[in-house]
Amino acid sequence: MELKKIQEYVKNQLSDKRYYHSKCVMERSRELAEKYGADIKIAEKIGIAHDVAKEMSEEEKLKYVKDNNIEIDDIERENSSLLHAKIGKDIAIKQFEFTENMGQAIANHTTGNKDMDIYSKILFIADRTSKDRNFEDLEHLNEIANKNIDEAVLYILDKKIEIQIRKRASIHVNGIIARNYMLNLINKN
């Protein structure tokens, strides 16, 4: 499906604020795709679509995963906000004609995953570094992202885990596995 149609669909699902975030992530995904030699059109589509299910209610999310046979674990059941990634993948594949890998980038954008391809890494970074974000460490993270995509992914994973620890909240196992995988990958190089 062409980008413009995806944008229209996403715009109809989200508040103005969330849609603006999605546009910013699309723009940042484009920048990172240019930097790392990935297909810009694919990166843009993934960027605009990544939060398509973000504003569904908890009940809608739970109904969607049940109706579409999407497997979820106890942590996702406990923290239904994580479900928007798996639901987003499903919508993107069914509605936008995304490939499995494109959909997987959306599924990976909240917790990370050990086998993140270039598009998963781009989206993971773009979601944290888009121009609408105002994290204290944004400039530092952008410097890392401009030098080494894997180091940037590891940095974000570390930050996400630190935040969950400070909140005394559950940490999804995918984030821990992804962190260990990225750490080993970086240490080998």
CATH number, position 63: 1.10.3210.10
pLDDT bucket at 92, cuts 50 / 70 / 90: very high
Q: How many structural domains does the chain have? A: 1
pLDDT bucket at 35, cuts 50 / 70 / 90: very high
Q: Mention every residue, 6+ apart, whose C-beta is less than 8 A from residue 78.
A: 170
- The residue type of 120 is S
Write the secondary structure of 46-94 as one string of H (helix), E (strand) and C (coil).
HHHHCCCCCCCCHHHHHHHHHHCCCCCCHHHHHCHHHHHHHHHHHHHHH
Range of the domain at 178: 3-188
pLDDT score at 189: 73
Query: Backbone dihedral region of 2: left (phi > 0), alpha (psi from -120 to 50 degrees) or beta?
Result: beta
Residue 58 has pLDDT above 90, yes or no: yes
pLDDT digits (tens, 9 = 90+) for 111-133: 999 989 999 999 999 999 999 99
How many C-beta atoms lie closer than 10 Å to residue 37's C-beta? 8
